[in-house]
A = this chain, B = another copy of it.
Amino acid sequence: MEKKVGGQTVIFSSPVGILATSSIVGQKESEGPLGHLFDVVEPDAMFGTKSWEKAESKFAQAAVSICEKKSGLSMADFDYVIAGDLLNQSTGSIYGLRNTNRPYFGIFGACSAMGEGMSLGAMLIDGGFAQNVIACASSHFCSAEKQFRFPLEMGSQRPPTSSWTVTGSAAVALTKSQTDVAITAATTGKMVDLQIKDANNMGAAMAPAAADTIVAHLKDTQRPPKYYDAIITGDLGYIGSELLLQLTAKEGYDISSVHKDCGIEIFDKEKQNTNAGGSGCACSGVVFSAYFYEELKKGAINKILFVPTGALMSPTSVQQGETIPSIAHAVAIENTQGGLV
């Protein structure tokens, strides 16, 4: 197959295999509708450390270590590690993965990290630069609240538009070898800024970026939305998802029958008091790793467009009255055995 590059989309010359995925989450995530699917549950939010930041690093470290084991490879077989998170200067990933002893590309795409990492990883493999790559993303409810909103100790009221940052980490091992589930295409997002300023309404800030990337992908590939069994955004939640459906419909694409959102899937809104839904780099990561990837492997679904979404603000930019640019990176993932079982 020839590599095709058009618009923002790359169709890989041969599908880039997914060798294994891993997920580790906190207590609250384990109590949600997907709780029984995650590889490991760590009930201690501090993960035995003295800070939430150190705990987040341990989540990232654990995700990579579990993924390494599940892949059947050893760390030395991975040509690159690519990772990102939400913390200042990406220390969740850096301190968690500093001992991997592998060539390392740090990325920053906020909660789109898993999409960016899988896209770059697939390009490095399809481009001939790597045999195996591991991509990782992490987030932590407590470190994210401290970083972006208010210290938890203040007991601030959470507005209905607010989302709940997922505590956990996911890793995905990509390979040149053939596997049942593989990445077939990637559409790299542009930054989109629709002048949203409310750091408690990430869904609204990210929906335009998700719409932009999904429409670009469908146009570039000339595929109807139904080509996919599911088009899965990262963490738009209830409010952002509604906006997304409106925005894509405006562009002539009705994705309502295939759209899913990891932020909606991970928590039970009523029972878990999570308002607009789950968010954070780990949200799309762990939901893909534990749920959608397994469904693809089983052949319960055969083609998905996985679209992690990120809100690209900092506490400082918000305090300085800036709007919130966003980005979404899409990865097409298919069961390459073909045919619905």
Contact = CB atoms under 8 A, between A and B. Distances in A.
Contact of A189 (B99, B103, B313, B327): B103
Nearest to A126: B127
A197 to B, nearest CB: 13
Residue among A79, A90, A320 with max Cβ neighbours from chain B (10 Å): A90
Given A8-B103, A123-B127, A129-B5, A325 B189 contact: no
Interface string A72-113: 000000011000101111110011011111111111111000
A155 interface: no
A311 B8 CA distance: 33
A191 interface: yes
A105 B103 CA distance: 18
Nearest to A112: B106
A88 B312 contact: no
Contacts of A123: 123-124, 127, 129
Contacts of A312: 89-91, 94, 98, 106
Interface residues of A, number: 58
A54 interface: yes
Interface string A239-276: 00000000000000000000000000000000000000
A157 interface: no
Given A3-B128, A51-B320, A123-B123, A89 B110 contact: yes
A169 interface: no
A127 B10 CA distance: 11
Given A110-B89, A124-B127, A314-B89, A104 B191 contact: yes
Copies of this chain per assembly: 2
Nearest to A213: B103
Interface string A119-160: 010011011111000000000000000000000000000000
Nearest to A51: B320
A106 B116 contact: yes
A126 B316 CA distance: 38
Contacts of A84: 108
Interface string A1-42: 001010010100100000000000000000000000000000
A102 to B, nearest CB: 6
Given A3-B128, A53-B320, A86-B89, 6 more contacts: A53-B316, A89-B110, A91-B313, A103-B188, A106-B327, A126-B127
Interface of A: 3, 5, 8, 10, 13, 50-51, 53-54, 79-80, 84, 86-91, 94-95, 97-110, 116, 120, 123-124, 126-130, 188-191, 193, 312-317, 320, 322, 325, 327
28 contacts: A3-B128, A13-B128, A80-B188, A89-B110, A89-B312, A89-B317, A90-B108, A90-B312, A94-B325, A95-B317, A97-B191, A98-B193, A101-B190, A102-B190, A104-B189, A104-B190, A105-B116, A105-B120, A105-B188, A106-B108, A106-B327, A107-B107, A107-B108, A120-B120, A123-B124, A123-B127, A124-B127, A127-B128
